[in-house]
Each structure stands twice: as C-alpha cells, then as structure tokens.
Amino acid sequence: MNLENKVIIVTGASRGIGQEVAFLLAKNGAKVVVNHSNSSKDAEKTVTKIKDNGGEAIAIKADVSNREQVTQLFDKTIAAYGEVNVLVNNAGVMISKELKDNTQEDFSKLFDVNVRGIFNTLQEANSKLADKGNIINFSSSTVKLMFPNYALYSASKAAVEQMTRVFSKEIGRGISVNALAPGATETELFMKGKSQEFIDKLSSMNAFDRLAQPIDIARVVLFLASDESKWISGQTIGANGALI
C-alpha cells in the first residue's frame, strides 16, 4: 500500500494499537502525526523510532475531548505539512464495570473521549481534511456482543459507528469514512488486570485461538488509509478473527 506523501493524523498514537498503526503507516511512506494527550515521552519515542527507520513524523499533544485542542491539532499539522489527507481516530478509553457500578464520572470520561473526541475531530475534518481523503474511526467488536461489564463502553462505540455511517454521506468531496471494530487485542492497556483464565476464554472465542496482535489491526488501517479502499465507505469493518 503506497501512502507516499500522505499526511496522516493518528490520535492516541503513543502506545498500543495507535503506535503500531503509526509505525506501519510511516513504513509505507506516510508523514505521520503522532497525537497524544499526556504521554509526551512515549510519543517522542514513537517519533524517534519512525525517523530511525527512515520515516517522517512529528508529535502533537492534544486532548481529543477538548475542541480547541483538536482545532490546534489540525492547524499545527497543516502548518507543518501543508494538508491532512487521512484521519485515524484511535484515541479512546475503556472502563469495564457492571452497569450498576459505573459512576457519573465513568460515564462522562467514556463519552467525552470515545464519542465527543471523534465528534470534535470529524467537525474539524469536515473543512480541513483534503479532498479524496480517508477517515478511520475506531469502534469495537463489543458493540455486537453482550459482554457483561461493557455496557457503557459498547454504547460509546455504537455511537461512533452511527456517526460514521451518517457522516460518510454528509462530508462529500470524495472522502471515505469507515469504522474499524477490533476484537480483543494484546496491548498493555487491554491485558492489565485480566486473569489468564479470562484471556484464554477470549482467545478461544475466535477462529485462530489467540488474541489479535496490534499489527493485525494496523494492517487493516493501512488498507483503509490507502486509495485501494476508496469504494468502501460508511461501513464498520470487523477485525476480530471471526469472533462474530
């Protein structure tokens, strides 16, 4: 997939899936903006690794739930590279509790980052993303599952999928808009606090008897960020190894 000279913002790119996405996009020729909200050290390490491997990248701090900071994220990217061709909305938070145990603060945090964050970036992209660009919004395969403890998280991602469908028909200008719904993926954030028994159970639920690796998800992002995926728009792509 040739992304030569494409300028790509990856939100939440300092670690986990977002970091792997940044690495792979840069490897395929993209100029990558490594966005982070409060992990400058990790973001700079990500940029350094990309540059050491011959790629091009910069780090820009912005909390996606803050509209002014999102505006600055786009404006700084355009100041540095001249345009924005692809937006990868990877930033998100996960809180897993039974519905009755979630606090008002839990609800606000989940929806501020997972939903308002994408709402903010889509509004900026509406006027600032280049013609014929691509937008990839991260959802989750939990939307289609009835996993206990994931009611609010799944609800926030269901909102992302619906915004994706509607916005794909609104934005125009040859821009494709899709959602990507990974299954369980082996990242530090995901593995934290989970028992081996639970990990084994999740692994056994898909066709490959393992958790996804971040690179499995990054490869799908690579395709959706490329011109080869152009006729796909308004869709939610499940990347979950036949989990559902």
pLDDT, tens digit, 9 for 90 and up, residues 18-74: 999 999 999 999 999 999 999 999 999 999 999 999 999 999 999 999 999 999 999
DSSP 234: S
B/e letters for 199-229, b = 16+ CB within 10 Å, e = fewer, are beebbebbeeeebbebebbbbbbbebbbeeb
Write down the pTM of the prediction: 0.97
pLDDT tens track for 117-143:
999 999 999 999 999 999 999 999 999
- Rg over CA atoms, the chain: 17
- At residue 171, the pLDDT reads 98
pLDDT at 190: 83
Domains of the chain: 7-185+214-231 (3.40.50.720)
Q: Is the pLDDT of residue 191 over 90?
A: no
153 is catalytic: yes
Give the residue among 98, 139, 118 at the shortest CA–CA distance from 239.
139
Output phi, psi for 206, to 5 deg. -105, 180
Nearest-angstrom CA–CA distance, 15 and 1 = 23
Q: Given the structure tokens 């909305």, which residue do they identify?
A: 89
Closest CA to 187 of 214, 210, 208: 214
- Please pick, among 111, 153, 167, 190, the residue that the annotation labels catalytic: 153
Q: Which two tokens stand for residue 223?
A: 């395709």
**Average pLDDT value for the chain:** 96
